[in-house]
Amino acid sequence: MGPELSLAQTVDDLAARGWDAEFAAVEGGLLTCGLCGDTLSPTEVHIDSVYRFEGQSDPDDQAAVFALTCHCGCRGIYVIAYGPSMSGADADVVSHLSRRTPSEPEI
């Protein structure tokens, strides 16, 4: 998968490869797993890959997609607005995720 893919195409590609659940940020800088429903610290998930998208002409169009694996075996995605549009809950989670290295290179 190359950087020429759009955000939607990247999400579709990850779903086709088995990252078909969703993770969501909740209060306190935590994530919830879309499969098991557990609330997890960002340090408890495995980062499989990270994809960042720059807004062509508007900084509000920046986004990032994290492909994550939960302890329950669930593979899913965590999609966030990046930059000025990032929510406080997402900022808390990303501050922890960004300190860790994905097992695949960032694209």
Domain assignment of residue 71, yes or no? yes
Structural domain including 57 reads 7-97
Domain assignment of residue 70, yes or no? yes
Domain assignment of residue 19, yes or no? yes
pLDDT score, position 60:
60
Domain assignment of residue 102, yes or no? no
Domain assignment of residue 59, yes or no? yes
pLDDT score, position 2:
47
pLDDT over 90, % of the chain: 58
* Domain tally, the chain: 1
Domain assignment of residue 105, yes or no? no
User: In this structure, how many other beta carbons lie within 10 angstroms of the beta carbon of residue 41?
Assistant: 12
Domain assignment of residue 2, yes or no? no
Considering only residues 54 and 26, tell me which one the structure prediction assigns the higher pLDDT: 26
pLDDT, one tens digit per residue, over 34-75 is 999 999 999 899 999 999 888 665 556 689 999 999 999 999
pLDDT score, position 99:
64
Question: 29: closest CA among 81, 85, 82, 88?
Answer: 88
Amino acid sitting at position 65:
V
pLDDT, one tens digit per residue, over 93-105 is 988 886 665 554 3
Domain assignment of residue 45, yes or no? yes
Q: Is the pLDDT of residue 77 over 90?
A: yes
The sheet carrying 46-53 orders its strands as: 39-40, 30-33, 21-26, 75-81, 63-69, 46-53
